[in-house]
Amino acid sequence: MADTDVQKIVEAVRGLARRAGVPELAPAALSAIHDGGSDRHFFRLTGEDRTAVVLVQWGGGWEIDSYVEIARFLARFRVGAPEIYAFDKEKGVILMEDLGDLHLEDVLKTASPDEAAEYDERALDILVELETTATDALMHEGLLRGRIFDKTALLGETDYFMHEFIEGFCPVPVPDSWEEERRFLAAALARERPVFMHRDYQSRNIMVKDGRLRIIDFQTAHRGPGLYDAASLLKDAYHPVPPSTRRTLLEAFHAKLQERGARPGERFNEFYETFTLAGVQRTMQALAAFVKLGRRMGKTRFLDSIPNGIDLLEEGIRESGRLPGLRTMAAAIRSRLQQAQEKGS
């Protein structure tokens, strides 16, 4: 980022800090924060006795507006969204609480299996709150009424997978049943009761601050299928969860949802079957994103997660037992990628 842009940020932040009643942050030092897969810019303000984070998307736009609106909505619930101190809608600058640099992914790398399962359970507890109390308020107040993750949106994800991953990265034969199977997936998930859906609820979008889980990157939230976020977390290519642990976590998650009045009368096996389909859907979306970020946006580290993604895709297809064409395509993907690796080694 050019020096002139940095100076613009400093000037904008000084005004926001005074408006938010934190003038001690106005002269604070500004340093860039790694932005992951986002095209927005993040900075940390460091003062003598406190810090804050600045999110910048020059010129504003719907994502900035959405981030503020959803963060302030989520602040009413026990889900750990950052506090918004102030924002400049026209410039596209937000001054907000600093949640630190420790992502759940970082913690899980050194956690024991029991510790990792405990963290995942706590992350699922946040989803319980989002899919019950927060969802009730969401529906009552009309928030996100124009952002429904319906059958059309779900089909858009598998179009994305076909365009980015298959056509653009790993061309393999497309089975005759592809259209039928992707429509089956979309229809199955579209039948789910719509809830508050983060849409990218994985270990890089959950921070750990003072031992508490905090959520970020929720600006693209929708009303959508309840099990999509759980699949994003428990079928996370950054942090694969052992199948037996995943099932145990899901049993507890299902029970807690039912205790809160969600998913009444549903048997766990039905719940698990839908979760499996959500996992297949989500994994295809993630694989497409890894390729787009890694190849077209130059963030090559995302390509490292493709092998885990293929493992998760094949695992979900096997568990579902209902996607023979996709099973054939996944096997062809694995074979082609292995051949490419052998040629490159």
* Segment 181-236, tens digit of pLDDT: 999 999 999 999 999 999 999 999 999 999 999 999 999 999 999 999 999 999 99
* Segment 65-83, tens digit of pLDDT: 999 999 999 999 999 999 9
- Residue 310 shares a structural domain with residue 328: yes
Q: Which of 96, 117, 152 is the last residue of a domain?
A: 96
Q: Which pairs count as long-range contacts for 160-166, CB under 8 Å and 24+ apart, including other chains? A: 160/285, 160/288, 161/284, 161/285, 161/287, 161/288, 163/288, 164/288, 164/289, 164/291, 164/292, 165/284, 165/287, 165/288, 165/291, 166/329, 166/333
Q: How many CA atoms lie within 13 A of 130 on its CB side?
A: 32
> Left, alpha or beta for 236 (phi > 0: left; psi -120 to 50: alpha)?
beta
Burial of 59 (0-12, 13-18, 19+ CB in 10 A): exposed
Distance CA 285, CA 40 (A): 21
- Residue 83 shares a structural domain with residue 195: no
- Residue 223 shares a structural domain with residue 242: yes
For residue 141, CA distances in Å to 73, 83, 136 come to 10, 21, 9
- Residue 121 shares a structural domain with residue 262: yes
Average pLDDT of the residues in 307-315: 98
Q: Give the domain CATH number at 73.
A: 3.30.200.20
- Residue 76 shares a structural domain with residue 205: no
pLDDT tier, 32 (very low <50, low <70, confident <90, very high otherwise):
confident
- Residue 92 shares a structural domain with residue 113: no
- Residue 197 shares a structural domain with residue 330: yes
- Residue 152 shares a structural domain with residue 85: no
pLDDT tier, 26 (very low <50, low <70, confident <90, very high otherwise):
low
- Residue 172 shares a structural domain with residue 247: yes
- Residue 270 shares a structural domain with residue 318: yes
Q: Which of 64, 96, 128 is the last residue of a domain?
A: 96
Amino acid at 215: I
Average pLDDT of the residues in 50-73: 90
Number of domain units in the chain: 2
Domain limits for position 217: 104-344
* Segment 116-129, tens digit of pLDDT: 999 999 999 999 99
CA 219 to chain centre: 10
**Structural contact between residues 226 and 131, judged by C-beta atoms closer than 8 angstroms:** yes
Tokens of 231: 């699949």
Q: Which of 51, 72, 96 is the last residue of a domain?
A: 96
- Residue 178 shares a structural domain with residue 315: yes
Tokens of 321: 């037992």
Average pLDDT of the residues in 30-59: 81
pLDDT tier, 90 (very low <50, low <70, confident <90, very high otherwise):
confident
Average pLDDT along the chain: 93
Tokens of 166: 């298959």
Q: Give the domain CATH number at 266.
A: 3.90.1200.10
Which residue in this structure is represented by tokens 């719509």? 194
- Residue 143 shares a structural domain with residue 223: yes
Report the pLDDT value the prediction gives residue 151, as an integer from 0 to 100.
98
